[in-house]
Amino acid sequence: MEYEQGQQFEDTAYAGDMQEAYDGYEEGAYDGNPSLVGSHNGEDFASLPACILNARPKPRYTEEEKLARDCMRRRQTDMERRARIFDAKRRMIGVDKEALDAQVAQKQDAVATAKRESRKGDRDMLAIDKELKLIEMDKQKTRRDQEVGCKEYSLQALNFQSRREYDLNDPHAKRKGAPARVGDFDPRCGASSMQKFSGEDLMKEERTRQQRAAMVSTIEQQKFEKAILSTQGQEEYGVQVEEITALRNEIEANEVGLRKELQRKQYEDNLGQATANEDRRKAIARLNIDDNEKELNFHTGDKFLNENGSSHFNNRVIRDAYKGSSREERVQVASEQKQQREEKSYIKAVDQHEGRHFANTVESTRKQLVAMERDKQRRRRDMREQMAQDNLQLQQEQKSNTKHMNKLYRNEFSPDFFEQFGTGCR
């Protein structure tokens, strides 16, 4: 360390001497041309151009000087590199943090300035847009007021009814006018006027009223008959509904009992499974505790983990120092996994059996309800067919009665009627 410090100090001193020599050479102290100072042949050098005064010949170095300059350059580069390496902050970040912060601040200021200018322009545009909108609203309001005034004036003073020829163009002129004849005593109809037109029906209102009253009476009579028929059919239908309801309630009660029994069995199975799972978890926890204790004891005395034993010999790995599971542990894990798969398959088979049993029960119930519904529909169909047959029979009877009555009250002239005349004398 002392040798390095001395060498560094010697290098620094040598570099300083070489730098002074180079600066003196650059200033012209060793350029070997003292005649440039003052004047030459009566001409002052101050009057010469700056390019001539600053002109210098290219320096010619010897091999020793070139080697010294090269060593000085390398030493200076090494000194700068050492300053960068020994600076922890600069070494971790890798760049000049202050310069970057200054650049970031300058960039942020530029962005903020641009935002302020942009916002100023936006505010000006918003103000102009607001003024234009106000002007447009005033213009639209003025135009709308003018159009409303024109429309109101047109409706009041220039409508179609106010025209002079409106009587000729009125489409409802006939409706507004009086009919040609109001009644038999119309004063407009004189002695030579026609008293009745073709198609005239002065008794239409009375006839319409009578027809409506007859229709209302017929509809009420039909309603009364339908009510009587529905009352007779509802009694039998109510008995059927009560029987079906009782049967359905019984089926639902059986289904509820079966569901409760299945739920109770499932609850017991769940409790047993939970107890088994809890025992298995406790056993696994105890086994884990024992395994952890064994592992900690092994880690405490293991040479590989404590780094007090070699794991290689003659560039070969020592197999007994390798950390890994043994065959017994792998066999035990495989047996446990096999047992878990068997338990899972057994539970799945039990669930599938219970599901199939419940599905069969639901399907049998559905089939029974469908059969009941079909029987009920069949009975309704039989009732409708019987009612249709009764109606047909009544229709035939009514037709026969009508035919008999028409024949009874019809005046038919037979040959016997004409033969009774001219058979005797007075």
> What is the enclosing helix (H) or strand (E) of 43?
strand 43-44
Structure tokens at 424: 């005797």
Question: If you average pLDDT over residues 274-278, what whole number do you get?
Answer: 91
Q: How far apart are CA 6 and CA 14, in angstroms?
A: 12
The model carries a pTM of 0.21
pLDDT at residue 174 in the model: 81
* Mean pLDDT over the full length of the chain: 79
Q: How far apart are CA 101 and CA 394, in angstroms?
A: 112
Least confident of 75-84, 193-202, 290-299, 354-363: 193-202
**Would you place residue 225 in the very low, low, confident or very high pLDDT band (cuts 50, 70, 90)?**
confident
Question: Distances in Å between the alpha carbon of 373 and those of 18, 218, 252, 304, 377?
Answer: 120, 37, 16, 83, 6
**Would you place residue 340 in the very low, low, confident or very high pLDDT band (cuts 50, 70, 90)?**
very high
Structure tokens at 88: 């922890």
Indicate whether 38 pLDDT > 60: no
Q: What is the pLDDT of residues 396-406, one digit of tens each?
A: 999 999 888 88
Least confident of 281-295, 325-339, 342-356, 366-380: 325-339
pLDDT at residue 111 in the model: 92
**Would you place residue 242 in the very low, low, confident or very high pLDDT band (cuts 50, 70, 90)?**
confident
pLDDT at residue 159 in the model: 81
Q: What is the pLDDT of residues 125-172, one digit of tens each?
A: 888 999 999 999 999 999 999 999 999 988 888 888 888 888 888 888
> What is the enclosing helix (H) or strand (E) of 316?
strand 316-317
Question: If you average pLDDT over residues 92-115, what whole number do you get?
Answer: 82
Collapsing DSSP states into helix, strand and coil, what is residue 209?
helix
Indicate whether 54 pLDDT > 80: no
pLDDT at residue 27 in the model: 43
pLDDT at residue 232 in the model: 65
Residue 13 vs residue 333, higher pLDDT: 333
